C-alpha cells in the first residue's frame, strides 16, 4: 500500500467514525474539510472503500439516494452507505496512536491534524514536536543550499527560494504556538484544582485551545525543498 493510499484510508475511517456516509458525501467531505485530498477522485476513493470493506473495517448498507447525489438522467436510485465496524473503529484508533516518521510528512501531517480532536494529548504532542523537528531540519538544508548557490541564482529564482523558506519558517512558528498551548493545557489539567476532574475523565482528546482563531494548518505545498 502506497503512502498516499494509506493517508486516504486513514481519512475515510476518521470521517466514517463521525457518521455513516455514502461515496458522494465522503468525497465532498474529503474535498472541502480536508483540503489535502482535493486531488482525489472517485477513481481512487472507491477502490479504497472496497479495500476497507474487504478488510472488515467497513460494511455496506443500501439506502435511498439524496437529491444532491442524483444526476438528471439517473432518477431516484439506491445508494450504498458505508458504516464503520467495531473492528474498523479499533483499527482507526490504532492508527491515531502511531507517531512514526510518516506522521510528520506534509500530507500525512495535514490528515493527522484534521483528526486531532479525536487524538490523545500525548500523541498530539509527539506528532507536533516531530513535525517541528522535521521542518527545522528542512529549513537548515534550505538555508545551506541558498548560501551555496546564492551567487548563481537570478533574482526570480532567489525570490522563490526565499518564499519557500518563509513558508517553512511560518509553519515552525505556528507549531511552536500549538505546542505551547498543548503544554499549557496539560499543566493546567495537572494542577491541584483539576485533579478531581482528571479522576472522572481523561480529557486527553479535548479540542486544542487556540489563541488566534481556528485557522487551518499552513499549506506547505509551495515549499521549494522537502
Place 40 in a pLDDT band, splitting at 50, 70 and 90.
low
Q: How far apart are CA 175 and CA 181, in angstroms?
A: 10
pLDDT in tens, 62-109: 865 444 444 554 555 568 999 999 999 999 999 999 998 989 988 889
The DSSP H or E segment spanning 81 is: strand 78-84
Residues 115-127: pLDDT tens digits? 999 999 999 999 9
From CA 13, how far away is CA 18, in angstroms rounded?
9
**Cell, residue 109:** 501531517
Which three three-digit cell numbers place residue 47?
Answer: 477502490
The grid coordinates of residue 54 equal 474487504
Q: Is residue 34 classed as helix, strand or coil in its secondary structure?
A: coil
pTM of the predicted structure, to 2 decimals? 0.72
pLDDT in tens, 99-110: 989 899 888 898
Cα–Cα distance between 24 and 53 in angstroms, integer? 17
Q: Cell 506547505 maps to which residue? A: 220
Amino acid at each position: 500500500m502506497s503512502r498516499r493510499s494509506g493517508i486516504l484510508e486513514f481519512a475515510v475511517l476518521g470521517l466514517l467514525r463521525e457518521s455513516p456516509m455514502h461515496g458522494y458525501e465522503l468525497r465532498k467531505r474529503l474535498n472541502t474539510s480536508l483540503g489535502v485530498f482535493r486531488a482525489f477522485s472517485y477513481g481512487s476513493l472507491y477502490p479504497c472503500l472496497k479495500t476497507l470493506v474487504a478488510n472488515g473495517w467497513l460494511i455496506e448498507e443500501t439506502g435511498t439516494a439524496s437529491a444532491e447525489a442524483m444526476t438528471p438522467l439517473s432518477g431516484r436510485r439506491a445508494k450504498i452507505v458505508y458504516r464503520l465496524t467495531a473492528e474498523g473503529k479499533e483499527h482507526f484508533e490504532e492508527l491515531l496512536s502511531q507517531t512514526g516518521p510518516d506522521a510528520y510528512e506534509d500530507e500525512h501531517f495535514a490528515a493527522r491534524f484534521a483528526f486531532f480532536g479525536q487524538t490523545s494529548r500525548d500523541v498530539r504532542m509527539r506528532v507536533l514536536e516531530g513535525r517541528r523537528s522535521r521542518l527545522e531540519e528542512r529549513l537548515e538544508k534550505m538555508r545551506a543550499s541558498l548560501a551555496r548557490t546564492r551567487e548563481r541564482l537570478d533574482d526570480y529564482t532567489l525570490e522563490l527560494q526565499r518564499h519557500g523558506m518563509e513558508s517553512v519558517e511560518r509553519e515552525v512558528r505556528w507549531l511552536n504556538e500549538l505546542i505551547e498551548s498543548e503544554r499549557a493545557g496539560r499543566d493546567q489539567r495537572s494542577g491541584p484544582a483539576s485533579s478531581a476532574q482528571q479522576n472522572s475523565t481523561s480529557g486527553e482528546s479535548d479540542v486544542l485551545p487556540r489563541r488566534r482563531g481556528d485557522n487551518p494548518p499552513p499549506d506547505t505545498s509551495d515549499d521549494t525543498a522537502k
